[in-house]
Amino acid sequence: MGRLFGTDGVRDRANRGNMTAETALKLGRAVALYFKDRAEDGEFPAIVIGRDPRLSGAMIESALAAGICSAGVDVHLLGEVPTPAVAVCARCTDAVAGLVVSASHNPFFDNGIKVFKGDGFKLSDEEESAIEDLYFTDELDLPDGDQIGSVFTVENAPEIYADFCAGLVEAENPLSGLTLVLDCSNGATSICAETIFEQLGAAVSVIHDDPDGININANCGSQHTEDLRAKTVELGANAGLAFDGDGDRLIAVDETGAELTGDQIMAICAKAYKESGQLENNRVVATVMSNVGFHAAMKALEIETDTAGVGDRKVLERMLETGAVLGGEDSGHMIFLDCHTTGDGIVSAIKLLQALKQSGQTMSGLAKIMTPFPQKLINVDVKEKPPVETVPELAKAIEAAEAELGDKGRVLIRYSGTQPMCRVMVEGPTEEQTGEIAGRLAEVVKECIG
């Protein structure tokens, strides 16, 4: 992580720390200056900004816009749209960059800023570092007079994105015959998800699609699927689809109400891609957090698996290195590089439902492609983030846990890139043993750095 950027942009409690209006203004200015220097001569560049519905979004958006205009770059406001819609709009409007005001799956009182380049891809580490240099520079050469930027409103951004998603499938009404329940997490997909899936021919019921700025991610969406599971069973739907607050991840529910993880969704899509000849280089990219069962499923399908670090940026980097078109995380972030430049929950859902239709099976039947190992993930709030190996008590506890599991499981302890939190993840042969080991390690983390 850099001086300002974390795993996925900048994130903090709104109006505190790294997410104040002052921070947003300076970051908007730094991003604008960086991309302005790379714009074509004679071009007056523009940056698009989209946001999710959380309460502090307008404040951060306004500060970003002020900073961008002060650098001599125009701003095109997209309003409330999913994160992947910003990448789409950046490309189709020839903007030099796209900014997203969102804290993804975090509670409403957090917020964040993500940055896309004009081609719809996220920044590299080197590009983030260059923007940080500008952010921390006191003396900047800023324009005046008629060279100051202006702010414009893009009225049809949701429609642009909806057309993009619907255009991914050539067939007419490709999802006809499917009954779906959508959980929009009271977030950014509330504005467009129902329209998109109805355009594709599905019969749709929607829950948690009434954002008020405070209820985003509150006991709903990809992190909390209880309501979705119940509604899917109640309506006898073929599947339930849960998005997170900014719409870049997907968790699914089958017709029995059982939850499918991101790894299971990716395994289903990998098999469908291979069968249709779309799986370039016969490989997928997973992360260190991916379940052992996913790797076993890919081996059975004779599909090569590459492993990346945590975060969709790391997944994308590895995909570009290896020529893979499919990659993702167990958390539900998936990238279909033959369709989009970034993780997209709605695109992932379309791909999953295409696989469902083509298979003629139920969603629960498709999910049998992968048997997840029992996994326990415990998040522990921490005061600091020293390298795990430099904490003697923790290193010793990890060694003991790994010896206990042998080749029947694994331990992964890592810090969150966006929150003051340590994630303790254990996979093992039984729920009981996995939970006991994870709890024991979590206590050590809490005692040492909590």
Point out the residues that are catalytic: 104
**What is the three-state SS of the chain?**
CCCCCECCEEEEECCCCCCCHHHHHHHHHHHHHHHHCCCCCCCCCEEEEEECCCCCHHHHHHHHHHHHHHCCCEEEEEEECCHHHHHHHHHHCCCCEEEEECCCCCCCCEEEEEEEECCCCECCHHHHHHHHHHHCCCCCCCCCHHHCCCEEECCCHHHHHHHHHHCCCCCCCCCCCCEEEEECCCCHHHHCHHHHHHHCCCEEEEECCCCCCCCCCCCCHHHCCHHHHHHHHHHCCCEEEEECCCCCCEEEECCCCCEECHHHHHHHHHHHHHHHCCCHHHEEEEECCCCHHHHHHHHHCCCEEEEECCCHHHHHHHHHHHCCCEEECCCCCEEECCCCCCCCHHHHHHHHHHHHHHHCCCHHHHHCCCCCCCEEEEEEECCCCCCHHHCHHHHHHHHHHHHHHHHHCEEEEEECCCCCEEEEEEECCCHHHHHHHHHHHHHHHHHHHC
